[in-house]
Structure 1
Amino acid sequence: MQFDPIFVTVAVIAVLIVGLSKAGLLGSLGMVGVPLLSLVMPARDAAGMMLPVLLAMDVIAVWTYRRDLNWHILKLMLPGAAIGTLLGWLLWSVVSDAAVLLFVGVITLLFVLDAILPLRKKLEGLPPSRGWGGFWGAAVGFTSFISHTGGPPFQIYVLPQRLSPMEYSGTSAWFFAIVNTAKLVPYFFLGQLSVSNLALSAALAPVGIVGVLIGVVLVRRISMVWFYRIAYWLVFLLALKLIWDGSRAIFWGL
């Protein structure tokens, strides 16, 4: 494969952001990994390449937060996540690459709007219920299967439960480790774990692990106020770019 400095730069930045997010440093900003990679490679290939990298990072995150998790929330959300994962598998072969790109862009835009709109505040203090847990779990499973963008629906349901930071990080780490592991078999049969994708995964996995370790060290030592302000604007522009590219391909054949 010919060396492409633009591809390498974007890939390293994307994986590093995901790694920092796994440690709890950047919250749901880790969901921009596939959208960022979609700028330099097909969205489907980006999703396939990222899965082994995510699993490598999950090992570090689960070990770090092995005693800090809420089993009750996992029990409420995981059945729905299984349904959402199955739905994503069934629909994978009937949607085009452009539709995947458009979907990733819309999910990215919804992520930004969710951070601005008061939806989470309206849910604040509501007790966890099996119905809502199943619904948001399914949303996480589906969006995570299509493009590893399950962070926002997970946060919409879990953040209002007012978990401690450590308990939230542990619950998130265990939940996504289980969901990502469940995606291995479908991804294999869909051909997403190709030799080329696995080679890229192996090359980028150390970057992700370093990101997790850096995030664990910095999570309580850095103020992210200005970072978030700038990052959300950049994510917003990224969402518009993906929506534009996907729409042009679908509606105008460009």
Structure 2
Amino acid sequence: MNDLELWQYGLIALGALFVGMGKGGLPGVGNLTVVLMALALPPKASVGVLLPILLSADIVAVLVYRRHALWPYILRLAPWTVVGIVIGYFVFGWIDDAQVRVLIGGVLLSMTVIHFLRKWLRRHSEEEDKLPHHPVFVASTGIVGGFATMVANAAGPVAALYFIASGLPKYAYIGTSAWFFLLVNCFKVPFMMHLGIINAESFRMSASFMLFSVAGAFLARYLVRFINQKLFEILIWVFIVIGGMKLIL
């Protein structure tokens, strides 16, 4: 992975910029990174290169939006996410990339259909939607997200399903997601190192692209002010559907 061609460098740099912009509050942009990285590098190697880049953007996002985090949502989801990460760790060695992509894409699209179906069925109801707080919903979302982040760094859309379904306002969503992913990605590092996905060579490559992710996070900080709440949620769902279809197709 030492000798990158220009097109590979460009795709990774663009992916790193998108990572930062997604972490900085522009919905869905970061979901494109997984695809760009997988095009530029071997799929499993791309997972290891991407994680330190994600962490660099996570740190910036936490510094900017830390006061907006709602910790009860993090504490409910995190234990189940850990379970999913451990499952992903054990299956990473024998499941192939195509199977992982179809599995995650299918889950994303099915959860999206369920969300909007329930929203339509409840269109005349004035009672609070209790599903996002139901233990089964929280557990299944956390496990799927943990598995997705371990095998493909692709938990963003899954977490978005939980946080948006919970009705978090724009800045609360960004701040809560920032802390959640910083903690989750830090937790993943030892597992990635043990699998050999992160090593000295991959980290040197990651470090050379961190500046792009940091720049993207600061840029998004100013752009997010111009996005209203309704458009914010629409964009998230659009990118979730696009990401799910891309993973399957």
Q: TM-score range by the shorter chain?
A: 0.7 to 0.9
Question: Does the 8 A contact of 1:14 with 1:37 survive in 2?
Answer: yes
* Structure 2 CA distance for partners of 1:212 and 1:109, relative to 1, 3 Å: farther
2:65 maps to which residue? 65
The whole-number CA distance in structure 1 between the counterparts of 2:109 and 2:136 is 25
The whole-number CA distance in structure 2 between the counterparts of 1:2 and 1:179 is 31
User: TM (normalized to structure 2)?
Assistant: 0.83
Spell out, residue by residue over 1:94-125, the C-alpha distance to the aligned partner (whole angstroms, 9 max, x if none): 22xxx22442365357657766x462462685
- Cα deviation for residue 201 of structure 1 reads 0.4
User: TM (normalized to structure 1)?
Assistant: 0.81
1:13 corresponds to 2:18: no
- Cα deviation for residue 33 of structure 1 reads 1.5
1:46 maps to which residue? 46
* Structure 2 CA distance for partners of 1:138 and 1:234, relative to 1, 3 Å: closer
Q: State the SS of the aligned residue for 1:192.
A: coil
Counterparts in 2 of 1:72-87, with a 5 A limit?
72-87=72-87
1:122 maps to which residue? 118
The whole-number CA distance in structure 2 between the counterparts of 1:120 and 1:232 is 13
The whole-number CA distance in structure 2 between the counterparts of 1:71 and 1:229 is 23
Q: State the SS of the aligned residue for 1:183.
A: helix
2:125 maps to which residue? none
Report runs of 4+ in structure 1 exceeding 4 Å deviation: 108-115, 222-225, 227-238
Question: Does the 8 A contact of 1:81 with 1:139 survive in 2?
Answer: yes
1:23 corresponds to 2:24: yes
Counterparts in 2 of 1:46-195, with a 5 A limit?
46-95=46-95, 99-104=96-101, 107-108=104-105, 111=108, 117=113, 119-120=115-116, 122=118, 125-127=128-130, 128-195=133-200
- Cα deviation for residue 10 of structure 1 reads 0.8
Q: State the SS of the aligned residue for 1:220.
A: helix
The whole-number CA distance in structure 1 between the counterparts of 2:175 and 2:59 is 12
Question: Does the 8 A contact of 1:23 with 1:213 survive in 2?
Answer: yes
* Structure 2 CA distance for partners of 1:188 and 1:35, relative to 1, 3 Å: same
- Note the residue ranges of structure 1 that are not aligned, 5 or more in a row: 244-254
Amino acid at match of 1:212: A
Q: State the SS of the aligned residue for 2:41.
A: coil
Question: Does the 8 A contact of 1:38 with 1:101 survive in 2?
Answer: no
The whole-number CA distance in structure 2 between the counterparts of 1:234 and 1:173 is 22
- Cα deviation for residue 61 of structure 1 reads 0.6
Amino acid at match of 1:50: L
Amino acid at match of 1:190: L
1:246 maps to which residue? none
Q: State the SS of the aligned residue for 1:38.
A: helix
* Structure 2 CA distance for partners of 1:230 and 1:88, relative to 1, 3 Å: closer
Question: Does the 8 A contact of 2:56 with 2:210 survive in 1?
Answer: yes
- Note the residue ranges of structure 2 that are not aligned, 5 or more in a row: 123-127
- Cα deviation for residue 77 of structure 1 reads 0.4
1:207 corresponds to 2:212: yes
Question: Does the 8 A contact of 1:35 with 1:105 survive in 2?
Answer: no
Spell out, residue by residue over 1:206-244, the C-alpha distance to the aligned partner (whole angstroms, 9 max, x if none): 10000100011111236889x99997898578546xx4x
The RMSD of aligned alpha carbons is: 2.9
The whole-number CA distance in structure 2 between the counterparts of 1:233 and 1:81 is 22
* Structure 2 CA distance for partners of 1:220 and 1:112, relative to 1, 3 Å: farther
Question: Does the 8 A contact of 2:21 with 2:29 survive in 1?
Answer: no
* Structure 2 CA distance for partners of 1:150 and 1:120, relative to 1, 3 Å: farther
Amino acid at match of 1:10: L
